């Protein structure tokens, strides 16, 4: 069975677990040697299910298709007996449960033959939501991942930095339970890399409900000193990558809509206040963010028929993050050295100058952005918007 077919089956299983707009279950696919052998041994599989598992087993043939499986599962759901184990002969086994930890534990039970102990399903505002967050190994992205996991979401930490990315996923699993997060190395400027990211997410969790396109770079400078390579880098990471990520996730989201037309999904770009207002000597960054709002509005028009909402969050400056506060090369240090703030003699002087520009007298926190993301997720009548989260520094006209 091809990887595309196995991915379609995972989506069909997950979308069939709820027949309305409720929270779908988490689905995991396992094709280890043990699981493949077990999928071909119905008697042994049912023995294990009887001893250890809370739900019945559904055995399918080797040539099952997603549409037929969806029909079978919806019949089971209507009878209140949705299976926790779906076996595809010769290919592997899907395990599913209301909580991400439960689905993972069931899979471990089948391999290790250990008693299954059900954990409490997440009950947060993002419970049941599967989110891919690009650029989430550190800074804003990591903070957003932490806030979303706290609210019950399953997280794919996507980043080029493998060390920090694995650490972030490990921290989330340690805090919120094994099975909450995975790390996937991803280059957002490569379509092949993003497609692999989507495939890994569906394999781990059974679908994809929210793309948070957060990865970005900032290079500032005057027109006469800014080179073409720097301009291309900023444009590719901040603008083109948003298109690539959206293109990669929409096939999964559209298929989810086919199997459950009541299910809503989100594509959210973490934009910037510089996408709402020009930025002096920062034209490449501001231009990429302005352009991304155009993409947001256009994507929203095209994808609304599939219950895919597309919005942008426009945060103010995250002064506590590494971009601004890195002691060696953060913007506060750079601006002090460059004399950008007249009269400033210390880093604190520079920071105060920028903080004073914000009516609320502080920078933007990841929790501020996460609250806006959760609002967008819960709001079913909002798409194509660019929502400022700037403490009043930039306001919509």
Q: 44-94, pLDDT tens digit by residue?
A: 888 877 776 666 788 998 899 999 999 989 888 887 788 889 999 999 999
Which residue, 170, 186, 167, is CA-closest to 178? Answer: 170
d(CA 368, CA 390): 9
SS3 call for 156: strand
285 flagged as catalytic:
yes
Domain parsing of the chain, residue ranges: 3-112, 130-309
Which residue, 267, 269, 272, is CA-closest to 310? Answer: 267
CATH architecture of 130-309: 3-Layer(aba) Sandwich (3.40)
Average pLDDT of the chain, as a whole number:
90
Q: 181-229, pLDDT tens digit by residue?
A: 999 999 999 999 999 999 999 999 999 999 999 999 888 888 998 999 9
* pLDDT-based confidence at residue 339 (cuts at 50, 70, 90): confident
More confident residue, 44 or 277: 277
Neighbours of 224 (CB within 10 A): 5
DSSP state, residue 274? G
- CB-count burial class (<10 Å; 0-12, 13-18, 19+) for 238: buried
Residues near 69 by Cβ (< 8 Å), separated by ≥ 6?
A: 9, 12, 13, 16, 60, 86
Position 53 scores a pLDDT of 67
The catalytic residue among 242, 285, 335, 354 is 285
* pLDDT higher than 60, residue 113: no
């Amino acid at each position: 069975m091809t990887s595309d077919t196995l991915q379609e089956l995972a989506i069909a299983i997950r979308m069939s677990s709820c027949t309305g707009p409720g929270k779908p279950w988490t689905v995991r696919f396992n094709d280890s040697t043990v699981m493949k052998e077990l999928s071909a041994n119905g008697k042994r599989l049912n023995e294990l299910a009887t001893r250890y598992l809370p739900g019945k087993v559904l055995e399918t043939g080797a040539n099952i298709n997603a549409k037929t499986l969806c029909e079978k599962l919806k019949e089971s759901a209507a009878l209140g007996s949705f299976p926790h184990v779906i076996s595809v002969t010769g290919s592997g086994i899907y395990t599913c449960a209301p909580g991400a930890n439960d689905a993972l534990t069931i899979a471990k039970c089948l391999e290790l033959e250990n008693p299954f102990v059900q954990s409490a399903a997440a009950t947060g505002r993002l419970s049941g939501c599967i989110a891919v967050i690009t650029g989430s190994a550190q800074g804003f992205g990591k903070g957003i991942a932490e806030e979303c996991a706290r609210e019950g979401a399953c997280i794919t930490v996507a980043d080029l930095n493998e060390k920090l990315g694995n650490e972030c996923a490990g921290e989330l699993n340690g805090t919120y339970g094994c099975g909450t997060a995975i790390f996937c190395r991803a280059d957002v400027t490569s379509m092949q890399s993003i497609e692999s990211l989507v495939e890994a997410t569906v394999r781990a969790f059974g679908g994809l409900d929210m793309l948070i396109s957060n990865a970005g770079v900032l290079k500032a400078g005057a027109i006469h000193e800014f080179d073409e390579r720097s301009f291309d880098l900023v444009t590719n990471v901040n603008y083109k990558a948003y298109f690539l990520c959206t293109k990669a996730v929409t096939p999964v989201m559209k298929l989810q809509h086919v199997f459950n037309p009541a299910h809503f999904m989100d594509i959210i770009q973490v934009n910037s206040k510089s996408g709402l207002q020009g930025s002096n000597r920062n034209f490449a960054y501001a231009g990429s963010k302005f352009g991304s709002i155009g993409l947001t509005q256009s994507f929203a028009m095209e994808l609304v028929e599939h219950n895919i909402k597309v919005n942008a969050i426009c945060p103010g400056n995250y002064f506590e993050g590494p971009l601004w506060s890195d002691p060696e090369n953060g913007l506060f240090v750079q601006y002090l050295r460059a004399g950008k703030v007249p009269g400033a003699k210390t880093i604190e002087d520079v920071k105060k100058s920028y903080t004073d520009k914000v009516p609320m007298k502080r920078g933007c926190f990841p929790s501020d952005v996460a609250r806006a993301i959760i609002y967008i997720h819960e709001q079913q009548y909002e798409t194509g918007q660019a929502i400022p989260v700037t403490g009043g520094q930039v306001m919509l006209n």
